[in-house]
């Protein structure tokens, strides 16, 4: 007979939580870029969103989805960044 300690727990999650989590991820990734003008927080040396940087290439390659491609590229750069106290491993909420 299952006991409360061994019985699986079901947790209800609001539908907006994954969207909110992704919005925070994208904001942090965008804010962490450092080669853009004016520079943001400079946590990683990328400029993948601005048209003057990598955004232009992505816009030419992916004219309809370049904005999402830019943000996804910045997320990939953020995932490779070793944060404070980490030894080359980054954790994301994907």
What are the tens digits of pLDDT across the range 13-69? 677 777 888 888 888 888 888 888 888 888 888 888 888 888 888 899 999 998 889
- pLDDT at residue 60, as a whole number: 92
Annotate the chain with three-state secondary structure. Answer: CCCCCCCCCCCCCCCHHHHHHHHHHHHHHHHCECCCCCCCCCCECCCCCCHHHHHHHHHHHCCCCHHHHHHHHHHHHHHHCCCCCCCCCCCCCC
pLDDT above 60 for 86: no
Confidence of residue 87 (pLDDT cuts 50, 70, 90): low
């Amino acid at each position: 007979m299952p006991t409360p300690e061994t019985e699986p727990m079901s947790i209800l999650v609001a539908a907006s939580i994954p969207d909110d989590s992704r919005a925070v991820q994208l904001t942090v990734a965008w804010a962490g870029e450092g080669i853009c003008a004016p520079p943001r927080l400079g946590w990683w040396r990328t400029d993948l969103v601005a048209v003057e940087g990598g955004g232009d290439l992505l816009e030419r390659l992916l004219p309809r989805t370049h904005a999402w491609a830019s943000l996804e590229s910045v997320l990939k750069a953020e995932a490779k960044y070793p944060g404070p106290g980490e030894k080359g491993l980054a954790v994301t909420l994907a």
